[in-house]
Amino acid sequence: MSEERKEQDEQRESRLSDAYHRMLNEVTEDLEKLEDKTSKAITEALENARDRVQQASDLTREEAHEVMDYLRRDLQDLGAYLDNRSSDWRGWLQIDLGLIEASIKNALERIADRTRVEITELTARAQVMGEWHTGEITGPGELLCKQCGHPVHMTKVGRIPPCSNCHNTTFRRGPGGTEAE
């Protein structure tokens, strides 16, 4: 890969990761203001956050939509985790909380504590995604390779790398995740 192409890829990843952070914060703030937290309202909050972040950044419409889909997938998985377990949202991450950026930790804490039922409703009505792929952006947490089971520990928002063990490109959430094998 040429140095120029590598630099372009790194810049794009940085833009998308930054957009993920900003959308998560926008959605969190919107959800705290809502009294009606139906799945329709949550979907609208995601779409509004997408539009605001896209307008305030150098993202294309397609990139903004892509980041919104990544954030929706992660929130759906968090909601399903909370719905299926008695433990709190910290178990979903499967990594040391000290390794997580404070802003992501704060946003997840606010969303999980205030919108547990609402995210569960969104999850139940949404298409089940259940797979994470190399190259996608995701928030912190543990992903397991669907081929060999090797963990990938995401300590911050970023692009999912191939499995370091077998180079597979498809993952599921770690032991705390929602997908059953």
* pLDDT tens digits, one per residue of 19-40: 988 888 888 787 777 666 566 7
Q: Which long-range contacts (CB under 8 A, 24 or more apart) does 145-154 make?
A: 145/170, 145/171, 146/170, 146/171, 146/172, 151/94, 153/94, 153/95, 154/95
Residue 117 maps to a domain: yes
Residue 168 maps to a domain: no
Q: What is the pTM of this model?
A: 0.63
- Domain tally for the chain? 1
* pLDDT tens digits, one per residue of 102-159: 666 667 666 655 455 455 555 544 434 578 999 999 988 889 999 999 999 988 888 9
Residue 107 maps to a domain: yes
Cβ neighbours, 10 Å, residue 75: 24
Residue 172 maps to a domain: no
CA distances from 35 to 1, 27, 38, 128 (A): 50, 14, 9, 26
Whether the CB-CB separation of 24 and 71 falls below 8 Å is answered with: yes
pLDDT of residue 147: 94
d(CA 43, CA 118): 11
Four-residue CA torsion sign, 135, 132, 28, 141: negative
Residue 167 maps to a domain: no
Residue 138 maps to a domain: no
pLDDT of residue 123: 53
Higher per-residue pLDDT: 18 or 121: 18
Q: Which residue range(s) make up the domain with 62?
A: 3-128
Residue 29 maps to a domain: yes
Residue 63 maps to a domain: yes
* pLDDT tens digits, one per residue of 40-90: 777 888 899 999 999 988 889 999 999 998 888 887 777 666 666 555 555
